[in-house]
Chain A
Amino acid sequence: MTLTDISFPQVRSTVLPPVIATLALTLAVMFPLLSPLAIRAMADIIFAGLVLHGLLSAQIPVFYAFAIAILSFAQSGVFLSATDRAGSIWLALAVYCVAYSAAAFVKHRDARRVMLLGGALSIAQILDPMGAVLAIFLLPVCVGLPRPGEGRDKAGLLALLLFMPIVTAAVLAYARGVLGIDPISFARSQRPFSHAPFLLVLLAGFAAAPALWLTVLVRNLQRPAGLISVFTAIVAIVEIALTFLLGIERDMASMLAAVAAASPVAICSWPRPRKNADLMLAAAALAAVVSWLLIYLPEAVT
């Protein structure tokens, strides 16, 4: 008997979306009334629910799905964001939404996935300014990936996908610039930002992402979906490293949050989930250990 055969209470992936949607709606409506810690705690739960839903939908055995979700959750310490100590839940959410919807889009390209990707890129901008950068780099790749027998008009598709992110960017610019409103700012962690050399941050990002690199190596990968999640992570890693270089406020936890969010999406594209479950779990565990070492080892040494 292996772990894949262990009988867990059946968790149907279809149960989660309504729960997550209700939580997200509650969070959106109650936003002005909740404390920053409560908001981040709810965001943590939503993030964990989304990751778990994605893994279960990919037919990953229940035990492994829970284990990988917990490890991803733990990897960047996003749960600590609720205690105001570390982590960057908003960035994790933004990257996960974008990576998941981009992978779904390149896999199916139906109207729902178009809405999902446009919505994710819009929400990502609200959650973190990096969402705009992701949109700029991601959309041309998503649209440009060849699809056999597809005769869709690329310019029209790009216009359709870009519309929501552009409107959101304009509305956010107006809200922040003219009205002085930043929807998420007061819910962001107030801890001081750490500074580290660009190259170190870049290497840390890549080191903490074994699942992503394995994704490229796994045979019979559902290529477009897997590669787009890796590409999303690379854009996020490079962008965060650049923000360090430019002196914009970011810390190592931000980097690891981005990596931790993209990794489960990449894992979902692996073939034969039951056969590869152990490898998935090992990758997630390794990523978590490396991440914690990267965050806390320097602190411990200094």
Chain B
Amino acid sequence: MEGSEDIEAGSLASTRLGRGARAVSAHARLSLRRVDLERDPPDPSLLRAAELDAYCTGLFVPWRREKGRLVIACAEPTPAQLAYLRGRNTEPVLFAYARRDALLGAVETQYRDRLTHDAVHGLAEAEPQLSANRTFTGAQARVIAGAVFLAAAAILVTPRGVLAIVAGLLAAAYLANILFRIALVWLGAAEAFDAPPAPAPVASEDLPLYTILVPLYDEANVVPSLIASLRALDYPREKLDIKLVVEADDGETRKALRTLDLDPCFHTVVVPSSSPRTKPKACNYALRFARGEFVVIFDAEDRPERDQLKKAVASFRAGPANVSCLQARLNFYNRDENWLTRLFTLDYALWFDFLLPGLDALRVPMPLGGTSNHFRTAVLRSIHGWDSFNVTEDADLGVRLARLGHRATTLDSTTYEEATSRLDDWMKQRSRWLKGYMQTWLVHMRNPLALWRHAGPRGFFAFQLFIGGTFVSSLANPLMWAIFLISHATGIVIFSGPLGEALARASLFSLVAGNALFVYLAMLGPYRRGWLKLAPYGLTAPVYWLLISAAAWRALWQLLRRPFHWEKTRHGISAFEAISP
């Protein structure tokens, strides 16, 4: 009989049902004795740092030595696991049962500094070239300083010439960006994305353990609806490993979680306070404890479609092995709240329903959206998780995956979120996104040749146009308008001579065509979802674009002053109910 050597330890301490019922029944079957790791923590001399990942995911920990035998505490013991543990130890072993939270708590207590350090610096130490812990490298700083110096010197010699060159370059970048987006929309609008062949569903008994990471900070008000939404997922509860990731100093959220009677599949991970205080750091910390074959990130206010996990498993199983990430579509449940949420909805619909599928069709690096990215856990760990210093860690991760030979693709399932409905919140969120895009561009352009080699020519240019183009066009937009309005209002001739006249026409064409196409794409955005009553709001997109431009300049300022500062988006302030349509 498995674990027969433990029988001497006595009868079960508890047959408590409800929380931990499955584990209790397992250890009851195996007749393991119960130990309380909160009261009697493991002997530190028995723990080995090299085994840390095994403790976190295997849910066991060497506890004590008793009568010449090593006692191993297990939270979810199975005959196979006990046999495995017995086989990997040369000395005689005994097994005991410990509550999972207590076991993980004991491991965290012992290795808190190590876990925190790895969560923050894991990528920076393993791949320093790919971490945003330095905003500019020395070479980048020299190039930028040189360009600024040259421009300043040229302005002294021929100010109008410099202005004409700058305006010409901006117009070219502006137009190239928007034309690339048109091409992406065309590719993304292919019928294959409207009705992709559904992969064969996976039988319930074959579904793997799935980890859900939900980073929370100041989210006490949305915790009940979040838990309800996670409980509504159509996935066997015993195959879910849900990590609610809270910050140590966020007492309110922790308190809100404590008041709920959570199922055994929920596990609260408390991230110790440290700098930088970013979502990727919290996710890295929690990833250490992820036990699922696949892992997905949801935000606190997310309402994923119920079958999203099953669809993801089916897609992973049916797709090529190098597909390591699936990005679900995101949209908003409070789209009709006000003008800002409507425009945000048009923006998101275009992004997730057309542009990302377009990038997918082109097989080029895809910047991931902040939530509902499903990963193969092993791959995510092997590339050191997220960059804790990047404030759009998701976008960076998408590019990094592509550079390392993996592929991210889109998943035909939607997660509904809460659109920021207040301008100040929206501005903070958008500034962070654009700052993150700047960080991502700077990181991956530290060695352009390496990027070219890794992503290929197509990926390289797509990266320039999609990541670089996003913030360059946002920064350029008000400049283009300013040049246009000043030259028309004051009659100042910026562009003179035949070449200047051609440049003036090209700039005007870029401005008009760019804005017109931007409006058109905004109107087209909701088409796939049939939300065409929102289409006329697309006519106001140039105003929205000016707001994005303001956010871009704010982002640039923050990049220089506070590159790692994470401006938290408030959730749960919408008057609209979080009901998925």
Contacts from A to B (Cβ < 8 Å): 108, 110-112, 114-115, 118, 151-153, 155-157, 159-160, 163-164, 167, 171
Contacts and interface: CB of A to CB of B under 8 A. Distances in A.
B520 A163 contact: yes
A151 B530 CA distance: 8
B533 interface: yes
A171 B512 contact: yes
A156 B536 contact: yes
Contacts of B528: 111
Contact of B535 (A115, A160, A164): A160
A29 to B, nearest CB: 13
B51 to A, nearest CB: 53
Nearest to A168: B516
B536 A155 contact: yes
A156 B535 contact: yes
A152 B529 CA distance: 9
B189 A115 contact: yes
B527 A114 contact: yes
B443 interface: no
Nearest to A112: B189
B493 interface: no
* Consensus secondary structure, chain A interface: helix
Interface in B462-515: 512
A114 B524 contact: yes
B9 interface: no
B189 A157 contact: no
Contacts of A171: 512
Given A110-B189, A163-B519, A171-B512, A115 B524 contact: yes
Contacts of A155: 532-533, 536
A115 B527 CA distance: 11
B53 interface: no
B535 A153 contact: yes
24 contacts: A110-B191, A111-B189, A111-B354, A111-B524, A111-B528, A112-B189, A114-B524, A118-B520, A153-B532, A153-B535, A155-B536, A156-B533, A156-B534, A156-B535, A157-B532, A157-B535, A159-B539, A160-B523, A160-B524, A160-B527, A160-B532, A164-B520, A167-B516, A171-B512
B185 interface: yes
B542 to A, nearest CB: 12
Given A157-B535, A160-B532, 16 more contacts: A108-B191, A110-B194, A111-B189, A111-B194, A112-B191, A114-B527, A115-B524, A152-B530, A153-B533, A153-B535, A155-B533, A156-B533, A156-B534, A159-B523, A163-B539, A171-B512
B175 to A, nearest CB: 14
A111 B192 CA distance: 12
Interface string B162-206: 000000000000000000000001100111001000000000000
Most chain-B CB neighbours within 10 Å: which of A151, A155, A163?
A163
Contacts of B539: 159, 163
Contacts of A164: 520
A164 B539 CA distance: 12
B527 A111 contact: yes
Contacts of B512: 171
A114 B527 CA distance: 9
A163 to B, nearest CB: 6
A152 B533 CA distance: 8
Nearest to B515: A167
Contacts of B535: 153, 156-157, 159-160
Contacts of B185: 111, 115
A159 B354 CA distance: 19
A108 B185 CA distance: 17
A111 B520 CA distance: 12
Nearest to A164: B520
Contacts of B519: 163
B194 A159 contact: no
B194 A115 contact: no
Contacts of B191: 108, 110, 112
Sorted nearest first, the 3 A-B pairs with minimum C-beta distance are A156-B532, A111-B189, A153-B532
Nearest to B525: A111
Contacts of B189: 110-112, 115
A159 B531 CA distance: 13
B190 A112 contact: yes
Contacts of A112: 186, 189-191
A171 B517 CA distance: 13
Nearest to B353: A111
A155 B519 CA distance: 17
Nearest to B195: A110
Nearest to B187: A112
A34 B56 CA distance: 71
